[in-house]
Amino acid sequence: MKKYEKLVNEILLNIGGAENISSVTHCMTRLRFNLKDLSKTNNDALSNVKGVLGITQSGGQYQVIIGQSVGEVYNQLLETAQIDGDKTDDKLTVTQDKNLKYYGNKILDTLAGSLTPLIPVLIAASMFKMLVVILGPTMLKVISEGSSIYTLLTFVGDAGFYFFPVFIGYTASKKMGVTPVLGLFLGAILIHPTFIGLIDSGTKLSLFGLSITPQNYTSTVIPMILSIWVMSYVEQFFKKVIPSMLGTILVPTLTMVVMIPLSLGIFGPLGFVLGEYISKGLLSLDSIGGFLAVPIIAALWQFVVMTGMHLLMITTMITVFAQNGQEAMVAPAGIASSMAVVGMCLGAFLYMKNKENKATAFSFVVACFIGGVTEPGVYGIGVRYRKPFIGMMIGAFAGGLYAGITNVTAYALIPVANFTALASFVGGSTKNLVNGVITCVISIIVAAIATYMLGLEEKGADSIG
């Protein structure tokens, strides 16, 4: 049997079979299912399958936590179930009460599907921006400002954020059922140099009687998500009313004819304003909670992740970072929390007596600190034993408190939870970097000590994983 075939078969058995899958994708650690009938799932049996670290439901998705091998498991799942990844059953009719929870889950599901695929771009772009700072004249002075390599690293790093509307045009289109290349096209229109050039000249446009004031949509998130959401209805309308023999030409053309004025004149500006308010709202939290805002977010971060609400925080963080080039609340809090997971796993490792459990706990330390994967530790130790979760929260609060007091700021957006997240603090003063490192050290040490002192009740060699 193939390495993950048994695991995949047991997953399928306990989620109602391949025929119960409407769509499936994965992030860095989880299989994310949209299921036709949740009543067909067997949570208890699936939780006890070897290789499954946990199960959670958020954002309208049924999520099976696998860990670092999720990519291989996902590929095996597609092969075994004979389904196409990321493909949604358009004929699916899900019977749910359309209450506030339903719409909240739909929003979270849309954000997850639109933003999660962008993580590799964010990581790569941030790494290039980090190299500019480290190797440039402000730190190691290996490369000089104006040199070819300095210029190359700078514009490559900036490109990852500058063309964000184009990237989101693709990922949001995939999620919302829009033809992806049309989403790319609309994103390119929003950031076309000619359109942006109208800002400096103060020139306004008029399309179909709609007055358009040019805005700079580079590095923005919300304008494209709103536009693609509307576009999903516009394109579907034309697909229904236009005969198939004319659809190839007329559907994309008429879709763009409708969407260009709507995006440039209504939903682009609306999203821009919403982004501004979100950015200012997050930045104003420190005036309400002061330096305590960071440790509170840090202590509660893993809870927020488990509910899926962290996507709203991440969207806000990306918006603030894209507009200001730095962020001093969510990013430091998230990093402190991730390091606290390392400390929690380390404390559990030191406390445990069973050799197999100790080995598993230590593998969680490595998985988080090196691999940037927190779920194995959070679910395999924190949720399973409970007391360590408290230790993790104590460590996260302590590290976040230091970050809040010293105003630690992230200058590079590195959405991973491993040691490379320390590079987020590069870009400001050396003092900021030192305080960022101290924040992480405090989180690890305090969480490890708190977890060890709180202790845990081992239940045998198979109690983890």
pLDDT at 166: 96
390 compared with 373, residue with greater pLDDT: 390
64's enclosing H/E stretch is: strand 61-65
Evaluated on CA atoms 287, 288, 291, 293, the torsion sign reads: negative
pLDDT at 231: 97
Question: In which band, very low, low, confident or very high, does the pLDDT at 147 lie, cut at 50, 70 and 90?
Answer: very high
- Whether residue 64 contacts residue 55, with contact meaning beta carbons closer than 8 Å, is answered with yes
**How many C-beta atoms surround the C-beta of residue 263 within 10 A?**
28
**How many C-beta atoms surround the C-beta of residue 20 within 10 A?**
17
Q: How far is residue 17 from each of residues 12, 271, 333, measured CA to CA in Å?
A: 5, 40, 39
Tokens describing residue 18:
């391949």
Mean pLDDT of 366-393: 85
Give the separation between CA 48 and CA 462, rounded to whole angstroms: 10
Question: In which band, very low, low, confident or very high, does the pLDDT at 243 lie, cut at 50, 70 and 90?
Answer: very high
Question: In which band, very low, low, confident or very high, does the pLDDT at 127 lie, cut at 50, 70 and 90?
Answer: confident
241's enclosing H/E stretch is: helix 222-241
pLDDT at 415: 63
Share of the chain above pLDDT 90, in %: 42
CA dihedral 428, 429, 433, 434 (to 10 degrees): -170
Nearest by Cα to 157 from 188, 194, 114, 124: 124
pLDDT at 309: 61
393 compared with 370, residue with greater pLDDT: 393
- For the annotated catalytic residues, the residue numbers are 27
- The residues, any chain, with a CB within 8 Å of residue 147's CB and separated by 6 or more, are none
pLDDT at 210: 76
Backbone angles phi, psi at 139, to 5 degrees: -125, -95
Would the pLDDT of 401 be above 60?
yes
Amino acid letter at 272?
F
